[in-house]
Structure 1
Amino acid sequence: MEQQKLPNSTLILVLGISSIILCCCWGIGGLASAIALILAAKATKLYKENPDMYSDYKNVKTGKILAIIGIVFFVIYIATVIYIRVVIGADEFREMMEEFIEQNQ
């Protein structure tokens, strides 16, 4: 019997990579990570039911790992934004950034 590609294996890999690249884009990276993890869970379940029938499981595992890394980066980003807003304050942070830009021009 000829092996088939796992459904969405390439998409899972692309979403995993995208989740890392877009981790600081106001939720897009987190959303990409979540979608990749959901699709990876479905693909893993399908693969484990009949491993001889499917190929490209490596793409699914790699995409899942990248999605987890993307979620970690996203959580760190959100925690940093909350910290800046609560501790420093948005207005003061903006003033600090403007001063920094003026000093480095």
Structure 2
Amino acid sequence: MEQQKLPNSTLILVFGILSIPLCCLYGIVSVTLGIIAIVLANKAAKIYKQNPDGYTGYQNVKVGKILAIIGIILGVLYMIFAVWAISYFGFEALQDEDLMREKMQELMGA
């Protein structure tokens, strides 16, 4: 019996990889890609466990799932930071460089 490539194994790996650097987009893209990668990885793992000898690419699924979890964690941390920055400094200060400088000096106690 010829081995087939596990469905979506490369896509899971790509989404897992992309979820890490894209956490800088307020975390939303990272969390979205990470969740999609985990859902696809769970489906692929079920297929693989039914017939382990019939499929290749399970390593991509495992690595992609781990990277997706890391991407989700980084995305959530970035979202928490963004919410904190907006609530602490205000949205106006984040857009105005001089006002942000004043807020940072207040924060540093200078």
TM-score normalized with structure 2 length: 0.82
- 1:23 maps to 23
Identity of aligned residues (%): 52
Structure 2: gaps of 5 or more residues: 105-110
How many pairs were matched up?
Answer: 100
- 2:6 maps to 6
Deviation of 1:13 after TM superposition, in Å, equals 0.3
> Distance in 2 between the 1:10 and 1:98 partners?
48
CA RMSD of aligned residues (A): 1.9
The 1:98–1:70 alpha-carbon spacing in structure 2 relative to 1, beyond 3 Å, is: farther
> Distance in 2 between the 1:55 and 1:90 partners?
49
Moved over 3 A (4+): 97-100
**Which structure's residues are more often helix, by fraction?**
2
**Letter of the aligned partner of 2:100 in structure 1?**
M
- What SS does the aligned partner of 1:64 have? helix
Do residues 89 (structure 1) and 93 (structure 2) align? no
TM-score normalized with structure 1 length: 0.86
